[in-house]
Amino acid sequence: MAASWRAIWVVGVAACASAPSPSSPAPVTTPGPSATTPASTSTDPLHAAAAGNLVVAYPRAGGGIARYAFVRRDSVIITMPTGDSQVQLFGRTAFVTITWVASDSGSQLTAKVDSLVPDSGLSGFTPFLDSARAARWTALRDPRGRLLHLQGGVPSLVADQLRDQLELLFPTLPAAGARPGESWTDSSTGPARVGAFAATESGTITAHAEPADTVPGTLPILVGRVRTATGQGVQFGQQITLQASGTDTLTYHITPDGRVVSVVGARATRLVVTIPSVGQSVPARERTFLGMTLLR
């Protein structure tokens, strides 16, 4: 039975310390306009947006390098069969360099983890971060922004979480580009990390491009996502199954040439982990804060 309890415990963020309920995460700041670029001129993209001329689309030629800070903070509330609740916390910032080469069929991307830093007070989780250091992925970003053929990384909790953030970095856009005031939908199915488990996740998004902006030179895009996931695996010799559902709320700021300046949002997930051999199930709730900020 002891093994069963240990297996159930990994429903949360693996090996995270018990703690009181977390306070609200600090906001992720987003870069303002360049000091050499006026915030408001007759050619500013926001003035074009007011005239209905702004179109945000991913590039079909050229290439470049971008460095991002990927922030993630998880809090997991687990309700054990005894009725007791436990909170687990885990937070870290990853610095990721993305290189891309675009063509009419999409952009070839390479993403590499440069470094990982745990939140203050969580230095004991360095071994978990070490598992994802120097992780590298390749993918094709199609003209609408979907990541296809995403490959690479390493089989670890943190690396899989970074893979999830990489997939969320680029919002799906309409085929003809996004314009202020437009709305659109999309759906996808693929691998994901739910808590400490690998799973297959299906999601449907609803997106809306706002007519005004708080970050000059970018178009704000609000994305809501509803998702479900199923998974199974073995922990401490016990077969485990997972059922989960959740919602994402993400706000993007993206330039007319398809450069994602910032992403800020939250994920809420309800999941149930079951050990069929002993007939035990444990429900949990997971709240995740996500922030991806362009550094240069």
User: What confidence tens digit (pLDDT) does each residue in 83-101 have?
Assistant: 777 888 888 999 999 999 9
> How many residues are given for the chain?
296
Q: Does 179 have pLDDT greater than 50?
A: yes
> Which tens digit of pLDDT belongs to each residue from 102-148?
999 999 999 999 999 888 765 556 666 777 888 999 999 999 999 99
In a domain, 42, yes or no: no
Count: domains in the chain: 1
Q: What pLDDT is attached to residue 127?
A: 67
**Are the beta carbons of 108 and 101 closer than 8 angstroms?**
yes
Long-range pairs of 117-120 with CB within 8 A, sequence gap ≥ 24: 117/92, 117/93, 118/91, 118/92, 119/73, 119/91, 119/92, 119/93
The verdict on residue 19 lying in a domain is no
| 62-78 residue pLDDT tens | 999 999 999 999 888 88
pLDDT: which is higher, 115 or 8: 115
Asked if residue 167 belongs to a domain, the reply is: yes
Q: Is the pTM of this model over 0.85?
A: no
Which has the closest alpha carbon to 26: 295, 289, 215? 289
- Indicate the DSSP class of residue 3: H
The CATH number for 175's domain is 2.30.230
The reply to whether 25 falls in a domain is: no
Per-position DSSP letters for 97-139, written without gaps between them: EEEEEEETTEEEEEEEEEEEEEPTT-GGGHHHHHTTTT-EEEE
Rg of the chain (C-alpha set): 20
pLDDT in tens, 9-48: 444 433 333 333 333 333 333 333 333 333 333 344 444 4
In a domain, 242, yes or no: yes
User: pLDDT averaged over the chain?
Assistant: 80
The residue that leads in pLDDT, 237 or 186, is 186
Q: Which structural domain range is residue 133 located in?
A: 60-294
**Domain contains 273:** yes
pLDDT of 277 reads 82
The answer to whether residue 112 sits within a structural domain is yes
Domain membership of residue 153 (yes or no) is yes
Tens-digit pLDDT profile for residues 253-295: 999 999 999 999 999 999 898 888 888 888 889 999 999 999 9
Per-residue pLDDT of 207-245, as tens digits, reads 999 986 667 889 999 999 999 999 887 777 778 888 999
**What CA–CA distance (Å, rounded) separates 294 from 253?**
10
